[in-house]
Structure 1
């Protein structure tokens, strides 16, 4: 399957791979590997960290649960265990991924951080360089996902703030923040959940809400809002489903304008389809905002040594700042190819459902903006496409 030799000048071992090289051993890489296994196509997985699913194991907060029911989050060929909760916990999902890798005998090569990857037009192969090796392959699968690196915004005066500043990738739980004044910057799903966790742990929490956003109840009449919307989309256009979701939100959560949160004019599903911005699924933060246990504050003008001056002229002091400012792809920093991925944001230029395949044997999985359901769809398409080429190649 493999052949290897040392290059004379660079002292890098070149390894020829008959099948594809998959970069990333998270859910996307594991799903693609399992699908290739089913097609009997050999592969290797390169993972920069020392474990699989490193984002979930090392960088996610303890209270995290899957936001969607488990049937929408299963990877190909393996359902969640029946005893798992409807919305699996962080630890349940990690154990599922570990069992998934074991079931399909997937063994990533850990500690292999990709320095660069490029297509050699002369050879007609991809070259993938790590610290010690250069892997040569016909097919390259980018499975590092949209959340490879934390986004650290540049905010005036942040370097002067004397308190503690952390990103949510460093936050585990609120045990160490009891009684402290904490500012959470960012009001997406992570910001809302971390704010709620801090509040439940006895912290004094302020939440920065700068932009308009859609907040939906996680469930309506005991049924997942996501599942309900997917069912309605079979019969109704997006705009009607959006109107229904906003109506449900007003009935369940009330008028969020009264707590300082404005909705966009575009509906939640239409906004997701056009911009990729995901609506927030409320897990209890709105009730805390209504009771004023969590304070909503406006955008930040600048940091001071002890706190923050806000855009509305108000100021306050804080001991800790939690940046719930999300993650981004890091593909643009190492992939030397500009046709399939954007150089600016490291995501695919083509939107779902045409996001999974580029030219010269390059593929992406986990960049559809459709979560784990999109991962499952992409991985199966990729495996089928590579398998058809593999079988043709073996015949000749």
Structure 2
């Protein structure tokens, strides 16, 4: 089911949630909420998948049996915070990006944002907009692209190879943002869309962070953390910086390997497909995965259609 024609190119959160509700109603789907899957294992005798899930409301374990099993747990599942020496001595607030609400409560505070992906960049921007003394760590080079560039690139990918699209995107980025090394930010040697496909790493969709970095309202710290000493953070360049709050925008880990039993073919230990794209979505014994191709909603849509067609062909 496509987005309504009235929806904008970049769909806001509330409209996307409404779309999901409409989707559920249209296809008469009955989601079972507040369940945590504890195990899913293929039974060789019955030739069916046996799934055990705990009902968070009742505490009981429910058992489901199905001929087909679709893993659709997404690329971002469990928040990940790296181990940092001395972090337990930090007297201030330590958050993961999933816990962040607004920069209002951090006005005039020294805040360190660890992680320079889109979450980190947007949180740093929000903090700066609310008057926080904001620093962000850029450990890795980053592609800065505007939303318009991303939309143009995605459109071009329908007609041109990734290498050509990446070349044009990098040229546009250089024209708009110039040399970012003067702010402590390098540019990757590989193209933005190639990196998304190969590593699952998105380019940085700039919605105002660059201007704040350029103006000095966001300070870039290109060195990684060595340890925390009370309020002070020691970096690899031997410099100490004091902070009141540390926000980790360090991504997620997938937990599929903890509950999916007996699959040696489809998913690796990180919960991502072993088979290469575009054959990544189909496993053995009726096992499939959707939305794990590192291609966003477009990839999830393609996976869903492929899986539906495959199941239809064998039933």
- TM-score tier, shorter chain, comes to over 0.9
TM-score when normalising by structure 1: 0.74
Question: Matches of residues 155-194 of structure 1 in structure 2 within 5 Å?
Answer: 155-194=84-123
Kept in 2: contact 1:178–1:203 (CA 8 A): yes
Deviation at 1:81, TM superposition (A): 5.4
Deviation at 1:236, TM superposition (A): 4.2
Deviation at 1:235, TM superposition (A): 5.1
Alignment-derived partner of residue 198 in structure 1: 127
Alignment-derived partner of residue 326 in structure 1: 251
Is 2:218 aligned against 1:294?
A: yes
Kept in 2: contact 1:179–1:202 (CA 8 A): yes
Deviation at 1:376, TM superposition (A): 0.7
Number of residue pairs matched by the alignment? 308
Deviation at 1:341, TM superposition (A): 4.2
Kept in 2: contact 1:217–1:253 (CA 8 A): no
* CA shift in 2, pair 1:234/1:227, >3 Å: same
Which of residues 230, 234, 239 is equivalent to 1:309? 234
Alignment-derived partner of residue 216 in structure 1: 145
Question: Matches of residues 245-284 of structure 1 in structure 2 within 5 Å?
Answer: 245-284=169-208
Is 2:67 aligned against 1:152?
A: no
Is 2:280 aligned against 1:373?
A: no
Question: Matches of residues 50-69 of structure 1 in structure 2 within 5 Å?
Answer: none
Question: Matches of residues 16-35 of structure 1 in structure 2 within 5 Å?
Answer: none
Is 2:156 aligned against 1:227?
A: no
Deviation at 1:181, TM superposition (A): 1.1
CA RMSD of aligned residues (A): 1.6
Kept in 1: contact 2:266–2:282 (CA 8 A): no
Deviation at 1:328, TM superposition (A): 2.6
Give the ranges of 4+ consecutive aligned residues of structure 1 lying more than 3 Å apart after TM superposition.
Answer: 230-237, 340-343
Deviation at 1:388, TM superposition (A): 2.2
CA distance in 2: counterparts of 1:186 and 1:365, whole angstroms = 27
Which of residues 124, 128, 132 is equivalent to 2:47? 124
Gaps of 5+ in 1: 1-76, 220-224, 391-396
CA distance in 2: counterparts of 1:172 and 1:112, whole angstroms = 26
Deviation at 1:238, TM superposition (A): 2.8
Q: Deviations over 1:341-369 (max 9, x none)?
A: 44421111123211111000001011010
Which of residues 78, 88, 104 is equivalent to 2:2? 78
SS in 1 for 2:261: coil
* CA shift in 2, pair 1:231/1:291, >3 Å: same
CA distance in 1: counterparts of 2:248 and 2:285, whole angstroms = 39
Is 2:37 aligned against 1:108?
A: no
Deviation at 1:231, TM superposition (A): 3.9
Alignment-derived partner of residue 18 in structure 2: 95
Q: Deviations over 1:209-258 (max 9, x none)?
A: 11122222222xxxxx2332234345544333222111100111121111
Deviation at 1:271, TM superposition (A): 2.2
